[in-house]
Amino acid sequence: MESARERLQIFVRRFGLLNASCCEECCGEQVSMVQSHILFEVRRKGNPSMQQVAEELGMDVTTFSRQAKTLETKRLIIRSSSPDDRRVNLLSLTDRGLQVLAQIDHYMEAKMEQIFSSMTPFERDTVIRALGLLNEAVARTGGCSDKNNIAKCK
């Protein structure tokens, strides 16, 4: 019988491959998986600081800054100074960034629907509920030096 870790590892790898293929197929932009995660978090957080998004994604600020600069060059995000503290850079999506993210969303929703189509409504609801419980448990326990990124355990 597979352990919980083994099942999770396989799922993350398979889903990661699905997500990685998204941007090559769905929006016509050269947006990496990491960059699509950044776009998603900027929208989800609603004009967050660069530090907030970097922490949420478990990235060091230097690496994140390079990725944000690339998205800025592609005119998908805008960096602006916080009115409260000019040292803090806030991120927002451009109209083009919103459009690209909508295309990514549409592609991923179709893929998720394809995956869920082989399940009964009860199984689908169970999986969605279980994912919510798992996310909440990970957020509560952390378990590592960096509470947002379980891959950085020492």
Residues across the chain: 154
Residue 145 reports pLDDT greater than 60 = no
Residue 89 pairs with which residues in a beta bridge?
A: 81
Output the pLDDT for position 4: 84
Report phi then psi at 142, rounded to 5.
65, -80
pLDDT in tens, 22-61: 655 666 677 888 898 999 999 999 999 999 999 999 899 8
**What confidence tier does 75 reach under pLDDT thresholds 50, 70, 90?**
very high
Report domain extents, the chain. 4-142
What letter represents residue 42's amino acid?
A: V
Percent of the chain with pLDDT over 70: 84
Output the pLDDT for position 153: 43
- For the domain covering 4-142, report its CATH number: 1.10.10.10
Q: What is the pTM of this model?
A: 0.78
Lowest mean pLDDT across 24-33, 83-92, 129-138: 24-33
Distance CA 15, CA 9 (A): 10
Average pLDDT over residues 87-101: 95
- DSSP summary character for residue 150: G
Output the pLDDT for position 149: 47
Output the pLDDT for position 55: 92
**What confidence tier does 150 reach under pLDDT thresholds 50, 70, 90?**
very low
